Amino acid sequence: MTKNKLPTNKNLKAFATELRNAKNLSEVLLWQQLKGKQLNGLTFTRQKSVGPYIIDLYCASKKVAIEIDGVTHDFKYERDQKREAYLKTLGVTVIHVLDIDVKTNLDGVMTMLKWHPALKN
């Protein structure tokens, strides 16, 4: 594994593709703002398989994961904590944004991301 290369799980590849195609509204809204290097010139990917997990949005050059937390995350707290601890062992910074914020305050979310220390140039 090279310095910036993360472990992947081939068994999750089809599921990650399924999630991309599911078109979760918050993810699509945020993706429209991130794709094409629109945020600080950074490249992001959607539904990135990392070990046993799938990350909503990932910037490889900064090793930053963006997770969109909705109501379902209220019931997955322990799993989310394990995922975040695992990602930290790989040197990945996890930024959480709320689903409702993406839907109702996308400009605010984008401002926060633009100035987040982990995503600045």
Per-residue pLDDT tens for 13-58? 655 455 455 568 999 999 999 999 999 999 999 999 999 999 999 9
**What's the length of the chain?**
121
- Can you tell me whether residue 106 is helix, strand or coil? helix
Supply the pLDDT for residue 1: 43
For the stretch 88-107, pLDDT in tens is 999 999 999 999 999 999 99
In this prediction, residue 115 has a pLDDT band, given cuts at 50, 70 and 90, of: very high
Beta carbons of 29 and 101 less than 8 angstroms apart: no
Determine the CATH number of domain 10-115. 3.40.960.10
What is the pTM assigned to this prediction?
A: 0.81
Q: Which amino acid is at 7?
A: P
Give the Å distances, CA to CA, from 28 to 12, 31, 44, 78.
20, 5, 13, 26
